[in-house]
Amino acid sequence: MPVDILCKRMSDISQVYTQNAEMRPLGTSMMMIAFDDELGPCVYKTDPAGYYSAYKACSVGTKQTEANSFLEKKIKKKADLNHDETIQTAINCLSTILSADFKPTEIEVAVVSKDKPDFHVLTEKEIDDHLTAISEKD
């Protein structure tokens, strides 16, 4: 099942729950990330009201507005990021929005790619390499 169809279905279910007063709406936003044979990498986000949209990069949570602004600016500068740049952009976004300097033991990063479709959690050494690359850019 294509991820856009799945996201639309989940949004339709959420939207139905907003129509009746006695039914409590589902109270979570959801991100769906997949690799589609036709569209390539896809990121969709749906909210409790039933709205959904496709993104190149997005965030969900307390400071999602600030994080989405940060990601939008970075993606506009360079739309085609390689594997390492993508990881570093995500870590840099989190660090900037939370105003924190991370140590490798303080964050977890997981990666899924077309070439390696298995869910891979980066080791502390790999995270440290990315943190070092970020600090060298600044």
pLDDT digits (tens, 9 = 90+) for 111-124: 988 888 788 999 99
Confidence of residue 81 (pLDDT cuts 50, 70, 90): confident
Give residue 132's pLDDT: 93
How, if at all, do strands 110-111 and 120-121 pair? antiparallel
Mean pLDDT of 105-113: 90
Average pLDDT across the chain, whole number: 87
Q: Is the pLDDT of residue 16 over 90?
A: no
- What three-state secondary structure class fits 53? strand
**Threshold 0.75, pTM exceeds:** yes
Give residue 108's pLDDT: 93
Distance CA 92, CA 102 (A): 10
Give residue 34's pLDDT: 85
Q: Is the pLDDT of residue 88 over 90?
A: yes
CA–CA distance from 57 to each of 11, 28, 88, 105 (Å)?
19, 19, 13, 25
pLDDT digits (tens, 9 = 90+) for 24-70: 666 778 898 888 888 888 899 998 888 899 988 899 888 999 999 99
